[in-house]
Amino acid sequence: MNGFLPVSRAELAERGWDWYDFLVITGDAYVDHPSFGPAIISRLLEHEGYRVAVLAQPDWRKVSSFTALGRPRLGVMLSSGNIDSMVAHYTVAKRRRHDDAYSPGNRAGLRPDRAVIVYANKVREAFGDIPLVIGGLEASLRRFAHYDYWEDKVRRSVLLDSQADLLVYGMGERATKEIAARLASCTPIGEITDVKGTAFIAKDPSACAYPKVECPSFEAVSADKRAYAQANQIQYEEHDPIRGRAILQRHGERLLVVNPPAMPLTTAELDAVAELPYVREPHPMYDQMGGVPAIEEVRFSVAHNRGCFGACNFCSLAFHQGRIISSRSHESVLREVEALTKHPGFKGYIHDVGGPTANFRRPACQKQLKAGLCRNRACLAPEPCPNLDADHTDYLMLLRKIRAVPGVKKVFIRSGIRFDFMMQDKSGEFFAELVKYHVSGQLKVAPEHCVDSVLDEMGKPHIAVYEKFRRKYESLNRKYGKEQYLVPYLMSSHPGCTLDDAVRLAQWLNRSGRQPEQVQDFYPTPGTLSTCMYYTGLDPRTMEPVYVPRDPHEKAMQRALMQWKRPEKRPLVREALHRTHREDLIGYGKDCLLRPHRPGSQAGDPAGRGSAPAKGKTAAAKPAEKSRQRPVRKAGWAAAKPKKNARPKKKR
């Protein structure tokens, strides 16, 4: 046996099994690593004493693919994989992607669109009324009636379309263990209705075992955008394992019941899950197909925490993992690091010690553990809560211990760092050691924008916080003789961002002498507050109107403004500047984005950045411009290339 859970009848036979308990179906390739949700659930069930088989990326066009391992004794657990299948398949422009890092050989097309629904319906076709439980990110974020960006309409709960018996949302270990135990004790699946962190379909509210609140129905949120925003806000307010209530949402004559969230795992429980006997590699059946690229990012990384109280409005973490932090013990993390040093491919570098947000290892404040999260109050934005506990000591001690493990040369932090949280730590000790020991040439942070009104809609701190952080980072790099750069992630076309705001972002980038190589357009994914804003034009927190850039041409202009130096972007940039009456940014001054359009210039380069000054014009701005064109490629930015003032060659 190869150490993996069985994936075929032959591997079942190797174990001497002529039956098994649970079939775990995943839309990803089978990678037995704790960064992959289906692997965690599979190993957890195995640890609880059940026989488990894994069916990875079955051919959804054939029922025989789903019956290939025979009928499981107790039930089917189903997930689309680590990410939503529609996000995996389509760009924000709704163009089909050509690769898939979670599939063998980076090959696209090995899972269907809306994989949870398609797989679940095939399970029903294959096994009839077998207990069917859906989970993972796709199911979790689609548990309520939700706006679907790809169809541009409100869809009903995925639980109804999938014909599943139960939906597990969030981090599903507690719910999975309880469901499995009840099924093993011969409890009918229809009677398992009181498990926290699950959703089910009922006929009337009496089926709900918890204090409850009802949000607007599927029919109401489909017809009325204000009702949609109200429902979205209720869903966020109640997503708390301590004070949250069950939420009911009617779908015609049926009633969706979403029980309160499960409590996060304790440190001991999280340690146990992290140290289950994972092989930590893709199944060998993929070796001849080129392996599974997604393993490369996590093979020599360690996840030390879960949850995120950063609560960015465009991020699904708060609605999936929750905002209460749970973390592993130092001893557990060190055991994992020591095991990594024995891996034949280990070269001395731990690529990451992180999680959803690397520098969160404790709850934002002690009050959260007793009373739950505050209603209508974020921990960090727009201003940090006075009760915020920004002490990084525990994380700092953990990193020091990892650096001391024999065989470890360097320990990097590549997960997201909340710079605003760091700036609240008055000691500055973690910041100093981060710069000295844990940056691999560049540090990735996410200011996202520079206009405070846009940042408010994003749920991010104001730009002054980032500027203060940047100055401190540069100062520490000078102090320690380091040549390390910041890579700020930025987003275009978020709700609340006008074309004028996009111009201001371009000006901010120009003043910094930088231009991003990659730009992220806002992607309306199911369940987030920002997606609610995109669909309704309302901020669900205040019910106030929000400007939403939906027109593809305007979105293209906003995106182009962030990369104004690129020749192919200049026509869009010029149009945006004219539309916003910012012709003052077309000229030869140091603050200008484009050069004036000269008669006879080519359409692809309409006298943009690369054009020489017109004859007779002063070149006084040249030295300043040249100074802004310092090489910055190591920082992840596109270095501007100084143009020579030589005459163009004559055509022969």
Q: What is the pLDDT of residues 471-491, one digit of tens each?
A: 999 999 999 999 999 988 999
Q: What angle do CA 371, 374, 380 make, to 5 degrees?
A: 125
β-bridge pairing 198-202 and 254-258 = antiparallel
Alpha helices, H only, 63-197: 63-66, 85-89, 115-127, 136-141, 158-162, 173-184
Asked whether residue 291 carries a pLDDT value surpassing 70, the answer given is: yes
- Which token pair is 138? 């796709």
Would the pLDDT of 367 be above 70?
Answer: yes
What is the CATH code for 9-258?
Answer: 3.40.50.280
Predicted pLDDT at 641: 38
Model pLDDT for residues 417-450, shown as the tens digit of each residue: 999 999 999 999 999 999 999 999 999 899 999 9
DSSP string computed for 538-557: EETTTTEE------HHHHHH
Residues 441 and 443: their CA atoms lie apart, in Å, by 7
**Does the reported pTM lie above 0.95?**
no
In this chain, the answer to whether the domains covering 9-258 and 300-440 adopt an identical fold is: no
Query: In 10 A of CB 99, how many CB atoms?
Result: 12
Lowest mean pLDDT among 150-154, 489-493, 603-607: 603-607
Higher pLDDT, 32 or 444: 32
What pLDDT was estimated at residue 637?
Answer: 32
Residue 1 confidence (pLDDT) = 58
Mean pLDDT of 504-526: 91
Instruction: Tell me the average pLDDT across 328-356.
Output: 97
Residue 79 or residue 639, greater confidence: 79
- Examine the pLDDT at 330 and tell me if it is beyond 80: yes
Q: What's the CA gap between 474 and 471, in Å, rounded?
A: 5
Domain coordinates of the chain in residue numbers?
9-258, 300-440, 444-451+469-640
Name the fold adopted by 300-440.
Transcription Regulator spoIIAA (3.30.750)
The yes-or-no verdict on residue 340 having pLDDT over 70 is yes
Whether the predicted pLDDT of 598 surpasses 90 = no
Q: Tell me which of 620 and 469 has the higher pLDDT.
A: 469
Residue 22 to residue 11: CA distance in whole angstroms: 15
Q: Which of 273, 376, 356 is nearest to 316 (CA)?
A: 356
Residues 68-116: tens digit of each pLDDT: 999 999 999 999 999 999 999 999 999 999 999 999 999 999 999 999 9
Residue 451, pLDDT > 90, answer yes
Q: What is the DSSP string of 71-110?
A: --SSEEEEE--SS-HHHHHB-TT-PBPSB-TTSGGGBS-S
- 600 pLDDT band, cuts 50/70/90, is low
Residue 605 has pLDDT above 80, yes or no: no
Q: Give the range among 176-185, 265-274, 426-435, 616-625 with minimum mean pLDDT.
A: 616-625
* pLDDT above 80 (res 393): yes
pLDDT exceeds cutoff 50 at 223: yes
Q: With bands split at pLDDT 50, 70 and 90, how would you rate the model's confidence at 356?
A: very high
Tell me the mean pLDDT in the region 179-201: 98
Q: What six digits make up the tokens of 155?
A: 């869809």
What pLDDT does residue 599 have? 59
- C-alpha to C-alpha distance for 145 and 250, rounded to whole angstroms: 9
CA distance 151 to 114: 12
pLDDT at 335: 98
Element (H, E) at 344: none
What's the rounded mean pLDDT across residues 224-229? 98
Residues in the chain: 652
Mean residue pLDDT of the chain comes to: 91
pLDDT band, residue 633 (cuts 50/70/90): very low
136 Ramachandran zone, left/alpha/beta (phi>0; psi -120 to 50): left
What pLDDT does residue 610 have? 41
Residue 507 CA to residue 501 CA, distance in Å, equals 10
The larger pLDDT score, comparing residue 18 to residue 610, is at 18
Confidence check: pLDDT of 640 > 60: no
